[in-house]
A and B are shown apart, each in its own frame.
Chain A
């Protein structure tokens, strides 16, 4: 009895190992991504449209721990055909290792150049090849506020850093708290603060120095990096300027902290976060109308000579297996047709400039798309472009230490040590 049961079990196990690989043989493309919930629903619509058009089936696997899963599957020689990776940093690492397929061999690059701005092609290039396709972007240099509350208190939207500092002083004098910040994000805690540093760095040191910093051509102990941390520190370490002080900043989830704007009276008046925060606002406060009850202004310029560069991030797709089905899918993702579904459903901003502005769900998103297109300078999220031991390691940890009260010099040295080994 017992033995036959064991036989049955081993048969099931062996079958489980064989059957999936057999099912993948023909007309299927496998995709690995971080998406779940609403994002996955919309991506499902993109995949359905693709299947309808080409007859090729799509198998999507979602994981919140994408680098781990991808690393394991690569090591096992069994990568997905396509993965939605974190950004240029990961793309460079994989391209360097020879794990990626050069898309310029398969896509019509003249078409791509006509459809995507040069900034997006540059972001996806490594050496002579084109490896990372940006399918959508998020704008990060945004400060969210409530126009009705600003009007009631006589606060003006600041357009320069001097005005911003005056506004913060005015709020404190009124007994109000200017900022709501939360950097808790499970195993990724600290990342929301890296966006602050990047936005400040672009405005205090300028885009050229920003690039040098991201590529580690200047050390983390450079006075210009230090300055960016200090500007952020003046706000985040001051309990008058940020709701609840540093302990609250560290223990509040990034998606929850914006809710301090919607208490009565508001616990805080401003929140700096990327465009995606609107979906968090809607979920926690169903009555709030985006664009009326809450709106954004652009993170103001700090040093005049550097103007007002835009910081952003986006969804990048890269191809790991050279199959005709995967090539078809990449072609599809570059098209305005596919991107319209994706950005229209999620309020992201498309990279294909043939997208009809009417697909954006509301005026706020259209305004963001316009800000992105009219920006003189655009830079990709620096931490996503650095090697992961820095960009999603030491940089995150260091900001948590800094907000926790550790000395700035030792914090910067900590990242510098990690950076010297990682680049």
Chain B
């Protein structure tokens, strides 16, 4: 009796999880891959046609270019500012207040943030009353108002700034915890050996925080590759701001082209897999 229960227990524990994974993750993924080789209504096999569209159409190429912009500037921005703030707030008395304020945008939904920032960037012609904060500041300074969301490539950076506003706090909180986890003796030992602040930062703090940094960087990479809400709400990919996920949404739900949407999904999936792998591996290492 006892031995049989022993053999059954792992199946009982893992079974439901495996079942859910197969039904909700594995099956849809395989199905999507099959659909990506079929036409818009998933009726006939079309070979690589959908992938040809993904890799050659001007719209998709622009989306790839913009996603690359996002990957570089969003990831560097959130992690860079997050790290800087994590170290800076550690040195002030009102640390928890500062952290709460910086973390707060995380509590706003992306759609909400998009709507709010659309007002921030609002454009009215010169001479009219400006509603948008940024253009009002420009006007007060005696400059012409700017179409923040219309002028490429400025608009891509205006959108990335919204992403930074939302996610920097998250990076800061995790990195702050990792920073506090560095043993004080280690930093003191460095100081005794004559390292200045910058040397401490590069040769002690960064190596000590490397596991957390890897997790934060990979999490941000996955986030940014899937970026959708901000673009959908603020420009819908117009004015040269299209990204991969927004195109996928349009093909699927607005144009009812299941084949193409699936092909885009598969490509996005393939891009994300190595990042996910690094992320999971680092998390497992941290646990063991």
Q: Footprint of B on A, CB under 8 Å?
A: 65, 67-68, 71-72, 93, 97, 186-187, 189-190, 243-245, 247-248, 250-251, 267, 387-389, 392-393, 397, 400-401, 404, 414, 417, 422
Contact = CB atoms under 8 A, between A and B. Distances in A.
B123 A71 contact: no
A250 B128 contact: no
B254 A392 contact: yes
A187 B232 contact: yes
Contacts of B233: 186
Contact of B123 (A65, A247, A267): A247
Contact of B125 (A186, A248, A388): A248
Interface in B108-151: 122-125, 128, 147, 149-150
B239 A389 contact: no
Given A97-B41, A400-B238, A247 B255 contact: no
A97 B256 CA distance: 12
A245 B126 CA distance: 11
Given A187-B236, A244-B128, A397-B238, A251 B123 contact: yes
Which of B58, B233, B238, B250: most chain A CB closer than 10 A?
Answer: B238
B150 A67 contact: no
Which of B122, B149, B232, B255: most chain A CB closer than 10 A?
Answer: B255
Interface string B148-180: 011000000000000000000000000000000
A250 B253 CA distance: 24
Contacts of A250: 147, 150, 239
A401 to B, nearest CB: 8
Contact of A248 (B41, B124, B253, B254): B124
B41 to A, nearest CB: 7
10 contacts: A189-B236, A190-B238, A244-B128, A247-B150, A248-B125, A250-B239, A251-B122, A251-B123, A251-B149, A400-B239
Contacts of A404: 150, 239
Interface residues of B, number: 23
Contact of B254 (A68, A190, A401, A417): A68
Nearest to A251: B123
A71 B150 contact: no
A350 B253 CA distance: 31
B125 A243 contact: yes
A388 B251 CA distance: 10
A262 B237 CA distance: 32
A422 B259 CA distance: 13
Nearest to A186: B236
Given A251-B147, A393-B250, A388 B255 contact: yes
A414 B125 CA distance: 29
Contacts of B239: 250, 400, 404
Contacts of B122: 251
> Which DSSP category, helix, strand, loop or mixed, fits chain B's interface?
loop
B164 to A, nearest CB: 23
A267 B128 contact: yes
A72 B125 CA distance: 41
Contact of A245 (B57, B125, B128): B125
A68 B253 CA distance: 5
Question: Which 8 pairs of residues, A with B, have the shortest CB-CB distance?
Answer: A244-B125, A389-B255, A68-B253, A251-B123, A247-B147, A187-B236, A248-B125, A400-B238
Nearest to B250: A393
A397 B235 CA distance: 11
Interface string B234-272: 001111000000000010011111000000000000000
Given A250-B147, A388-B256, A389-B254, 18 more contacts: A65-B253, A71-B256, A93-B256, A187-B236, A189-B236, A189-B238, A244-B128, A248-B125, A250-B239, A251-B123, A251-B150, A387-B255, A388-B254, A388-B255, A389-B256, A393-B254, A400-B238, A404-B150
A5 to B, nearest CB: 17
A187 B228 CA distance: 13
A179 to B, nearest CB: 13
Nearest to B251: A389
Nearest to A267: B128
Contacts of A245: 125
Contacts of A267: 128
Contacts of A248: 123-125
Nearest to B126: A244
A330 B124 CA distance: 45
Contacts of A190: 238
A187 B234 CA distance: 8
A189 B255 CA distance: 16
A71 B123 CA distance: 35
A255 to B, nearest CB: 15
B149 A393 contact: no
Interface in B39-77: 41, 57-58
Nearest to B257: A389
Nearest to A96: B41
Contacts of B125: 243-245, 247-248
A244 B128 CA distance: 9
B253 A67 contact: yes
Contacts of A417: 57
A243 B125 CA distance: 8
A419 to B, nearest CB: 12
B66 to A, nearest CB: 15
Nearest to A244: B125
Contacts of A72: 253
Nearest to B238: A400
A75 to B, nearest CB: 9
B264 to A, nearest CB: 14
